[in-house]
Structure 1
Amino acid sequence: DPGPRWRRARAPRCRRCGSEVHRRTPCGSCGSRGCAYCEACLALGRSRSCALLLRGSNAGTVPPRAGGGTAAGLAPTGSLLDRWGLSPAQRSAAGQALRFLAHAQEAPLPGAARGNRALPLPLRRSFSRQKESSARPPRFLLWAVTGAGKTEMIFPLLRYALDQGGRVLVATPRRDVVLELAPRVARAFPEEPMAVLYGGSPQRWEEARLILATTHQLLRFHYAFDLVVIDELDAFPYHNDPMLGFAAEAACKPEGRFIFLSATPPLRLQKEIRAGRLPHAKVPARYHGSPLPVPDRIKAASVELCLRRHSLPPALLRPLRQSVQRGAQIFIFVTRIRQIAAFTELLRSYFPGIRIEGTSSTDPGRNEKVLAFREGRIRMLITTTILERGVTVPKSDVYIVDADSALFDEASLVQMAGRSGRSKDDPNGKVVFAAPTWTRSQRDAIRQIRMMNAAAYKNGFLKVKEVQ
């Protein structure tokens, strides 16, 4: 008996976002009592199994600008790097990325000219790894420590792609980062029309060759860009969201190229690097040439216990007072939103002479508080991981309480620690891991920071002679 011949029916997939579709409803268009539609990308309009998915065709690249050069004749590691004022570490990494782009243009993907690349299908587990990787445009990772100046490093790459007549996309997971990047990119490319896309953006119908967008906006494009730059690919919501990964690949032309930016790349990408499958460049030093602050470990009671006792442990109180005395802006990261208000009041009882506030993703006044913190009107800010990225405050110290929590993985700890020492005027800020126990995530975070410092020292990127 060969056994049953039936197989479990596979759920249909949305051709727009790649998600499995499990919702079926009666449809007035086709008359079906169970017409499938996708809930994952419903914000872009209903995608039904009976409806056509319309995609506009791309007009193709325009001729290179006069003086822009061609891939064969341009030496991208020379003049393209000179105008941006890059540090030695930034210049080295940007040069490697430029060589990747130039080589990729000289050797296009097999079949790219015929346009016969299969649709990007990262969600179809039945495909072999080799077949899946061959369907993707070549990728390059810029692995740069927090505060290394990743934005400045991509300027030569954008200039190169635009000079070749290409269309360029810079995507980042969060709207506030897009709005922060927009004026910096506009100043760097004043002659280039730019569109900035996010939920509610007024520019969504404007034509431009340089586009800044949140990653969700990638669902609106199909084979539209010659260069796609994904910033903070390890951050929510892009990280672990197959739909956004699908959208990113679908937005890139078959002969296009990807540049990934991250301070804490996901483990799968680190494995690809070790296996030699992912070209990359490391930037182990910040632009000011000082090492990353290595966190100090403090054994201290948990936040919950401190709140029950209405007291702070002396081991935590001493460094906090030192930070206040030296005039630092102080980040205090906690694990739970519900702890913020009570912990803020507890800290106010110990430091009545300074302004202390708390904020989180549910706080309607978060933007105003972050601005006041940046300007020094707030001296101590208690928050969650909502501020672990994208916030630069001069002369800041970082305290991570309950650092042993499972909610703080290695990447989160490295990102939070990276809020300190970012300014050239105060490059040696303090970072403290405060927790009752010592965890693997804390050890791995400190090991990664020390590894980057050692690499920066070895390559001559640091101005100091000693590294912790």
Structure 2
Amino acid sequence: MKVAVYAVRLEQVWKLMISLDIGTDLGWCLEERGWLIEKTGRNGFREGHQVERCSTMVLLSAVMPLGWAVQLRDSFQAKLEMDGWKLKGWHEYIRGALKRELEQERQGGVSGYHAEENLLGLRSGGVLWTRREGLTLYGEMVLEQYQRERYEEMHGSEAMWREAVDVMARRITAALEGRSLLEAELQQLLAERLPELVPAWRSAVQHAHLQGLVLLTAGVAAVAARGLWGPLARLRARYRCRRCGSEVHSRTPCGSCGSSGCAYCEACLALGRSRSCALLLRGSAEAVPPPAGGTGAPLTGSLLDRWGLSPAQRDAASAALQFLAQPQVAPAEPAPRYAQRPGRLLQSRERSLPRFLLWAVTGAGKTEMIFPLIHYTLSTGGKVLVATPRRDVVLELAPRISKAFPEEKIAVLYGGSTQRWEEARLILATTHQLMRFYHAFDLVIIDELDAFPYHNDPMLAFAAKESCKGTGRFIFLSATPPAQMQREVRQGKLEHAKVPARFHGHPLPVPRRIRIESVEGCLRRRSLPSSLAASLEQSIQRGAQIFIFVSRIRHIEPLTGLLRRRFSSISVEGTSSQDELRAEKVLDFRATKTRVLVTTTILERGVTVPKSDVFILDADSDLFDEASLVQMAGRAGRSKDDPAGRVWFASPEWTRSQRGAVRQIRSMNTIAHKKGFLHA
């Protein structure tokens, strides 16, 4: 995409702007409306904002690549001598500010003064308007005349056009509220919800941008190295994706902007190509602080009674509610919507948002515990996001949450969802969908934060922070929090509540050890160790459904064959992420048509099968860390009819991960016993 770039002389300072429709900006200037500018104190921090009117408007480029235009705007620093600059002075400034980009173009084969001038769009131009002289046009200009002329043919005057644009800007602002969308995604949203705005969307978006309601930026932009300023910062600047926060290294020639090396992000490519010349629009969503003094939903016992929580669940939910009810710390002065420097967008990575961890054992009923938190936030006028890493969990949670909140409209978002452009105050989504939101939610609940793909993915963590309002709150749910989070809990740096007992009030099954040779050795000998076979026979005799977890997909088929020969009277199946019949086999296992299921960690969480025993073979494998061992062990004992399921760690070695998993499970049982959450 290419955009116009212009400079405006305000009452106290020069300001550089980009425009999708320079005619809209010109009309804004003619009407003598004001521009939002940032007030900065001596310490360099923002101290508020004010509105100043324009006295002079200078067109610098009519068709500059968007990425370059955003770079100019974000790095712009006003100087007193600019008052005396002619057009040549502005052009020299642009060449100096984009020196790095022009050098990259020369390396890509673009050479010559005039070639670079055409790429920058630095044709003849000049002052578009001054307050003393009225309207003056010089040189070539690219205006969005088609939409305006067509509207005038149908409806009448320029004044009517401006009034129409104002109405369209309000509607498009409402549609973009709290969203972060590329141009292609905006087009999809408009086609579905506001098709009548499609012909004039540039004018409407630009009008909203001038009001400070919509931020226009590039999908990928240069970010200066930390702590550096001026030419050295530009020299060492790195490119980052403003949608997912990932560092960008890939470049390609681009027919859209004309650059020989347009940077694009590979990390979030599945959601559409975010690149230097791709327009990224972010809509304003004002924070709704929770009530000070208890308006809305009071923190009373009735708020918890409605959900039928167990004592352990109730204690944790009560602590989380108290966390939500704490006074919000708002910014020192109200932010001027998007008046702050757009170049600071990536600072959200460093934003410190209030966090609370619900550390609940597997099978504790985490979903039921978040119902009071959702209800409280919605009752105070807030907006809630429940995010989970996996699509199947989203689809499983959707009917449960809909049943709990029948009066509330819920949008369910995942890849291919038909609801992705619907408005709702309660949204259930996969974590990848968070990249389409920006400062939208008062409460963000991240379920299974330790699970793939959210765990150890800074892109998704960045997206989660971006989706939460500046005065919003985070609730994390996990049975096995990451090690860093556990350290923060021990150091008192992270508010939390532990749920050490399952809803049925029985202790967690503690894993026992079977010392056997590796699965590879068993397959070579084509026989099962006698100790393992005896333990399996006991589980079969007691009528249990048996999970057998292995570390390698290649072990599943031969091990399934061994088990079928040894236990020919029962049904044995194997499945993995590569199995097209995985869903059917899991359903048969749940229905007890299959008694033994050999699988990998794909079933370590989110699966509840009554009366289950768990065998983890090669439990000493590097692929099984403490968290995955706890999760796999958590498949046993989940039913109130069979709370004492059995768990076996089978391996040649007794590793640190196995010891840690046993220690964590015993610790939770000890806490549950001390707090009286277990049956006698």
Normalised by the size of structure 2, how large is the TM-score? Answer: 0.63
**Alignment counterpart, residue 49 of structure 1, candidates 256, 263, 276:** 276
Distance (Å, rounded) in 1 between the aligned partners of 2:283 and 2:648: 52
| Contact preservation (8 Å) 2:445, 2:475 | yes
Whole-angstrom distance in 1 between the partners of 2:472 and 2:345: 14
2:388–2:394: 8 Å Cα contact kept in structure 1?
Answer: yes
2:189 alignment counterpart:
none
Distance 1:72 1:160 in 2: 11
Q: Which has the larger radius of gyration?
A: 2
Contact 2:245–2:462 (CA<8 Å) still a contact in 1? yes
SS at match of 1:12: strand
Which residues of 2 match residues 244-259 of structure 1 at below 5 A?
A: 244-259=460-475
Which residue of 297, 300, 305 maps to 1:82? 305
**Alignment partner for residue 304 of structure 1, among 507, 515, 520?**
520
Tell whether the 8 Å contact from 2:287 to 2:471 is kept in structure 1 after alignment: no
Query: 1:188-228, CA deviations, whole angstroms, 9 ceiling, x for partnerless residues?
Result: 01111111111111111111111111000001111111100
User: In 1, distance between residues paired with 2:583 and 2:250?
Assistant: 37
Correspondence 1:66-465 to 2 at 5 A: 71-73=293-295, 75-103=298-326, 106-111=327-332, 113-114=334-335, 119=345, 121=347, 132=350, 135-464=351-680
SS at match of 1:54: strand
Q: Distance in 1 between matches of 2:302 and 2:605?
A: 32
Q: CA deviation at 1:136?
A: 2.5
- Opposite residue 303 of structure 2, the aligned amino acid is L
Asked whether the equivalents of residues 11 and 20 of structure 1 are also in contact (C-alpha less than 8 Å), the reply is: yes
More relative contact order, 1 or 2 (CA 8 Å, 6+ apart):
1
CA contact (8 A) 1:229 1:259 kept: yes
SS at match of 2:613: strand
Asked if the contact 1:115/1:254 (under 8 Å) is kept, the reply is: no
Aligned AA (1:276): G
Instruction: Specify whether residues 121 and 347 from structure 1 end up closer, same or farther in structure 2 by C-alpha distance, changes over 3 A only.
Output: farther
Overall identity of the aligned pairs, in %: 70
- What secondary structure, in the 3-state scheme, does the structure 2 residue paired with 1:191 have? coil
Unpaired segments ≥5 residues, structure 2: 1-230
Question: Displacement, 1:120?
Answer: 5.7
Secondary structure of the residue that 1:171 maps to in structure 2?
Answer: strand
Q: Please tell me the residue identity of whatever aligns with 1:227.
A: L
Q: Matches of 1:313 and 1:238 in 2, distance apart?
A: 38
Which residue in 2 is equivalent to 1:34? 261
Amino acid in structure 1 at the alignment position of 2:476: F
Structure 1, unpaired ranges of 5+: 124-131
CA contact (8 A) 2:440 2:469 kept: yes
Question: 1:398-445: per-residue Cα shift (whole Å, max 9, x none)?
Answer: 000000111100000000000000010100000000001111110010
Report the CA distance shift for 1:99/1:77 in structure 2 as closer, same or farther (over 3 A). Answer: farther
CA distance 1:391–1:39, change in 2 (3 Å): same
What is the CA–CA distance in structure 2 between the aligned matches of 1:121 and 1:305, rounded to whole Å? 53
* Partner SS, residue 281 of structure 2: coil
**Partner in structure 1 of residue 173 of structure 2:** none
Give runs of ≥4 in structure 1 deviating > 4 Å.
Answer: 5-8, 115-123
Contact 2:242 2:346 (C-alpha < 8 Å) held by counterparts: no
Q: In the superposition, relative to structure 1, how do residues 90 and 110 fare at CA in structure 2: closer, same or farther (>3 Å)? A: same
Q: Determine which structure has the larger strand proportion and give its number.
A: 2
Once the two structures are TM-superposed, the CA of residue 149 in structure 1 deviates from its matched residue by 0.3
Give the C-alpha shift of residue 47 in structure 1: 1.5
Shift of 1:21: 0.5
Task: State the partner residue of 2:198.
Answer: none
In 2: Cα distance, 1:112 partner to 1:256 partner: 17
Aligned-pair CA distance for 1:121: 4.4
Aligned to 2:80: none
> CA deviation digits over 1:326-350, x for unaligned, max 9?
1100000000001100000000011
Aligned equivalents of 2:399 and 2:640: distance in 1? 22
| Residues in 1 aligned to 2:399 and 2:236: alpha-carbon distance in whole angstroms | 50
Instruction: Indicate if the aligned counterparts of 2:413 and 2:433 stay in contact, CA closer than 8 A.
Output: yes
In 2, the alpha carbon distance for the partners of 1:463 and 1:57 equals: 51
CA distance 1:51–1:229, shift in 2 (3 Å): same
Normalising by structure 1, what TM-score? 0.91
Supply the AA of the counterpart residue of 1:83.
R
Q: CA deviation at 1:109?
A: 3.5
